[in-house]
Structure 1
Amino acid sequence: MRIATLGPAGTFSELAACEFGRQLNDYTLAFYPALARVLKALPQDADLAVVPIENIVEGVVSPVIDTFVKRPLEIVGELSIPVRFSLVANHAQPEKIYAQFVAQGQCSDCLGRYNVPIMNTASNSEALQLLQQSREPAAAVVPEHCLGEHHFAHVEHDITDYAHNETRFVAVREARDEHEAPKTGVNYKTSLLIIDDTDHPGLLVEHLQVFAAYRVNLTSLVSRPTGQKFGQYHFYIECEGHRDDTAIRAALTLIQLRNKVMVLGSYPTAAPSE
């Protein structure tokens, strides 16, 4: 199984991809520099793509949601990865700090205490590499799991602004006509898109009322602009249950009378991260 994910090595995406890979008998991992490139690898250069879809602090990952509108893709699994960063330095009083821009936003409280310039990097791995090459007093924000056997003059562990920060990842493949039937004893989640092709007043309220009437519990609702004109949006929705559940099938049947619906997949709900 060929798995594509966001690189370089050392990212949280690599952790997630390896976790999915361990569920398979055999896999190879390929890194790509951008989320769009990861998903574009399907199906020619990869059988599975592992991408972040939501962070507790930052919210949904818009490029991933938008790609679902443009391409026939299917979500086949999800998992959550704890997001823990450390600040490492070659001196107790660094004069600059290297940090990937997302990491900077998630560790702003700690970085604000240093009152030194933040040097943005393309990745967490690059931040660590620049620190190791620096001859000046410097620091870097790096994922906890990247510390390994490295030795630093100064280390601050778990510097994220939110103690329980985590990112949810999904495994994606090219869409197929058939789908797996639900297994007994498994809790499922279903992802879908409501395509705004017949915009009218009350569109979203109508759909929410349908889900409520059939007692379908929504766990996520995100609006994304269609890119056609202001005021038009597609809706990405996640709900508890499998697409074959009677309630979900009935709700989608009614919604499809007014708008196009793309079911992106039903998959086991991720276990809580430790």
Structure 2
Amino acid sequence: MRFSVLGPEGTFADAAAKAYLKTQPYSNVIFDYHPTFDQVYQAVTGENIGLLPLENQLDGYVSATLQRLQTADVTEIGEITIPVNFGLVANVDHLNKIKRLYVQFKTEGQCQKLLAKLPNAQIITTSSNMISLRQFLAGEPDDAAIIPQSQMAAQTAKLMLANVADQDDNSTRFIIFKAKPAKLSELSKVNLKTTHFKAPLFITPASNDKPGTLYDILGYFAKVNLNLITLMSLPTKNQLGEYAFYIEISGTRDQQEGLFATLREIAAKYQVHLLGFYAD
């Protein structure tokens, strides 16, 4: 089986994928590394699986993942959360001598306190933390990079600062998915292995201009006492001012029947794009 993740090897996505495999019975897994979200998504076919970051504790949801999920025909089969932290490496002996800083686009939002100390540095965003490290190692004498804390021990830079995230307690949640549509009729028959489930989905109203649309949608879940742990709005990109709602539902095994009955009821009025139903 091929497991597609953001690469190269050594990224937090790589660590998350390996942590997930420890909880699963898969064997003969081949890691398939890609530099972008779209390439990870496109690489997942058949019974192979992929992993993408969904949410960071300090910097919130990963918009690049949500935008892909909004229209993707995928089934999320699980998730994994891992701790993350970062270190700074630089080819200079003081922060004020740094001229260029390589930092992954999502890492940047988790290290704002450090970046505030570098007002004169050019911030160059990258697609992965390991690419930040590679750019730094191949760069100029006044370069620096924010890299995974796990990679610090292997570096010999002039300036090295550990634990540079805005707080030590930091984690990122990743989703694992297959390349097939998540269908209400099929997922409603899933036999959960645990007592709790999670169900992510998008709901798109026909029009966002009608007062009470969100109130109406939330009422369906309130009637059957289903807990919404996430509620976000994202543009549909069809026209300005038109939005879809991203929702994550948490519940127990005895609420499974009520969940799918509710989703069928909502689907009669709104566009429902189910993304998965899995043990939490």
- TM-score norm. by structure 2 comes to 0.85
Give the match for residue 231 of structure 1.
Answer: 241
Return the alpha-carbon distance in structure 2 between the equivalents of residues 67 and 90 of structure 1.
Answer: 37
2:122 is equivalent to residue 113 of structure 1: no
Return the alpha-carbon distance in structure 2 between the equivalents of residues 211 and 111 of structure 1.
Answer: 42
Q: Return the offset for 1:31.
A: 1.5
Q: Return the offset for 1:135.
A: 5.7
2:49 is equivalent to residue 13 of structure 1: no
Deviation string, structure 1 residues 63-98 (Cα, Å, up to 9, x no partner):
322323323211001111222011123332143342
Return the alpha-carbon distance in structure 2 between the equivalents of residues 155 and 124 of structure 1.
Answer: 16
Q: What does 1:27-106 align with in structure 2 at a 5 Å threshold? A: 27-43=29-45, 47-93=48-94, 94-100=97-103, 101-106=105-110
Return the alpha-carbon distance in structure 2 between the equivalents of residues 231 and 134 of structure 1.
Answer: 43
Count of residues in correspondence between the two structures: 268
Return the alpha-carbon distance in structure 2 between the equivalents of residues 207 and 119 of structure 1.
Answer: 42
Q: Structure 1 residues 121, 230: CA separation in 2 closer, same or farther (over 3 Å shift)?
A: closer
SS at match of 1:57: coil
Query: Are the aligned partners of 1:196 and 1:226 in contact in 2 as well (CA < 8 Å)?
Result: no
Return the alpha-carbon distance in structure 1 between the equivalents of residues 258 and 211 of structure 2.
Answer: 25
Amino acid at match of 1:99: Y
Deviation string, structure 1 residues 32-82 (Cα, Å, up to 9, x no partner):
2211121122216x7111001112232222232232332321100111122
Q: Structure 1 residues 61, 105: CA separation in 2 closer, same or farther (over 3 Å shift)?
A: closer
Return the alpha-carbon distance in structure 1 between the equivalents of residues 264 and 4 of structure 2.
Answer: 34
Q: Return the offset for 1:28.
A: 0.8
Give the match for residue 191 of structure 1.
Answer: 200
Q: Percent identity?
A: 29
Query: Are the aligned partners of 1:198 and 1:258 in contact in 2 as well (CA < 8 Å)?
Result: no
Unaligned 5+ segments in structure 1 are: 270-274
Query: Are the aligned partners of 2:207 and 2:242 in contact in 1 as well (CA < 8 Å)?
Result: no
Q: Return the offset for 1:205.
A: 0.7
Give the match for residue 151 of structure 1.
Answer: 156
Amino acid at match of 2:244: H
Amino acid at match of 1:136: P
Return the alpha-carbon distance in structure 2 between the equivalents of residues 42 and 12 of structure 1.
Answer: 19
Return the alpha-carbon distance in structure 1 between the equivalents of residues 21 and 108 of structure 2.
Answer: 29
Return the alpha-carbon distance in structure 2 between the equivalents of residues 59 and 135 of structure 1.
Answer: 32
Amino acid at match of 2:246: Y
Unaligned 5+ segments in structure 2 are: none
